[in-house]
Amino acid sequence: MTTEQTTQGPACPLSAVSPSGTTPYAHYARMDELLALQHPLSSARTEPGFIIMSQVKELLFKLLHTEFTTARDQLTDDLLDDALWTLRRAARVQQVLLVSWETFSVLSPVEFAEFRDVLGSASGFQSASYRRLEFLLGNKNPAMVAPHRNTAGYDAVASQLREPGLYDAALALLARRGLLASNDSTDRDLSRPYQGGAEVEEAWRSVYQDPVRHRDLHLLAEALMDTADQFARWRYTHLVTVQRMLGAKAGTGGTEGVAWLARISEHRFFPELWSVRSTL
């Protein structure tokens, strides 16, 4: 090693070299562009916070989609230990997502009304990132693709509808372990809503009844339950937050508001993991 190399240290990676007018940190994470994406349409002092937290949620949706896709692929490749570690990371992200509702819940009805009209037909219901996440976790409904037609996210949403989900990968693993016949909920039209079955529940019951023998599958069952539990809490918190802000008013974008949220809050991902508890 030459003296020049020793004194200068290792060369900086190309990504860390920032152009004039910014820092390596801002350049690497595109912070200048990110922080320039808030454009309130009213003079309400609470609207910037509403926009920022809406954007934060979208970023968290994207991160969760990345993590759950990774976990699905790891299960498909029989890398169960790796999938469990990925689901552990995802659980922390879900906790942040759940807490994000706190910033909305402190908006009084009057404060929200100050800028609600400028939302027009905009609604979180139109989030392509969230719809892809719902599909990935198994809540398939072809009708939910329609709101994204003629948008940049349409192809991604439509493609997600036809892809195997995280639970599909888990059930396929149960089949490979001999706990589930390959035609019991593992061979189906992936674009249709998931229909649970007694065979799947029995497979999970076998896992829970002998957690020592099926240690890794038992850990997977509980990791999936953590995922489903956190989403159930997220949906319920969404419902309560909207009730606090809007009461029984219709939602933005023509949605039903509280009535629709109340119905969807009863949905549970991975249904047999819930129902099997009544049999143990």
Write down the pLDDT at residue 252: 64
Q: How far apart are CA 278 and CA 135, in angstroms?
A: 27
pLDDT along the chain (280 residues), means of 10: 48 64 92 96 96 97 98 98 98 97 92 92 89 96 93 96 97 96 70 87 97 97 98 94 83 69 91 96
Write down the pLDDT at residue 260: 80
Write down the pLDDT at residue 57: 97
Write down the pLDDT at residue 145: 95
Write down the pLDDT at residue 12: 54
Write down the pLDDT at residue 187: 63
